[in-house]
Each structure stands twice: as structure tokens, then as C-alpha cells.
Structure 1
């Protein structure tokens, strides 16, 4: 017996995978504009960053410890930095790309 024959005997079959890989089925699976989805998720992230930063700012009057206030200031500054970088990325992402263009080249 050869190793290839043994491999074929052992190799498990996956009917669901076989159905997914049929050419007729593959043509129906389309990406639903991933750059538009990315842009929408970036907007959600910016909303949460603003909400969390406002929440941190609302805690200031209730805290007497200078160390905790210093920690909150550091977290607020970090949130603002992330908000700024997310905003820049949000502005750079163009959801419309030409169908003939390479996605990697479009993102650069």
C-alpha cells in the first residue's frame, strides 16, 4: 500500500464544504462592500470613544485622590489620541473603488 492510498482512505469528507466550493455557489457569494462596512465600524468606534471620554470627565468632581485623577487624565489623553487617529483613518477610507483596481493598491 502506498502512502497516497492510505491518505485517501483516512481523509475525511466534508459535504458542507464540498457544497460551498461548487462554482455555481461561489458566484453567488459576494462581498458586501467591505470598505463601507469598515467606515461604518470606524464611526461606531469614534462614538464610543467620545462617550467613554465624556464618562471619564464626569467622574472628576467625585474623585479626591490625585493618583486616580492622574490616571483618568492619562486615559482621557489616550482616548483623544485614538479618536484623532480613527478620525484620520475614517476620512482617508473611500468606500468606492473601481472594480478593476487591486484592493491593496486602493488602500495605499
Structure 2
């Protein structure tokens, strides 16, 4: 009976450790700049919230994709690395350009 208790306890501890290890990182803005807020909202993966923030900042999506830097990366790369919904957010931001760059293979070079 003691062996069964040890096995169950070990299993529970292992599974809880795996759960903690796979928990997503929390993005916390370190300042109150509009660009920082846009980076955090984009990484959270909610298109409606991101669209609202973009409208409030009065800057175009194209300008953000080309000029906004988040932790030294462009916005699309930042969302790809830290975002919870990167494909949908980056397609929303960059449109067809993101889809084309992320999945197209040059067949002629094969």
C-alpha cells in the first residue's frame, strides 16, 4: 500500500511540475508608452483589443509593422516569439505579406 501511495504522489508532483513549466510567460509593460502597450496587446492574441489600441493610437497597421520595435524586435517577430495567437495576429497586422513569407516554398530552386 505504501508503494501505491508513493507512486501516486510522484505522479502528481511530476504532472504539476510539467504544468508549471508549460505555463506561458506573462508580459508586463515596464513603461506607459503607447508602443509598449501595443506590443503587449498584440502578444496577448486578441484581435479586437489590438484593433482598438491601433485606432486609439491613430497609427496605421503598416506603420506599426514597419517601425514599431518591441524588445529590440520588429512587431511581427515579437508576436511570433511571445504571442499566444501569432498566426492570426500577424496575418491581421501584415495581411497577405505575412502568409506569403511564412509558408511559401520556392519550388523552382528544388
TM-score normalised over the length of structure 1 = 0.29
Structure scoring higher RCO (CA < 8 A, sep ≥ 6) equals 1
Bigger radius of gyration among the two: 1
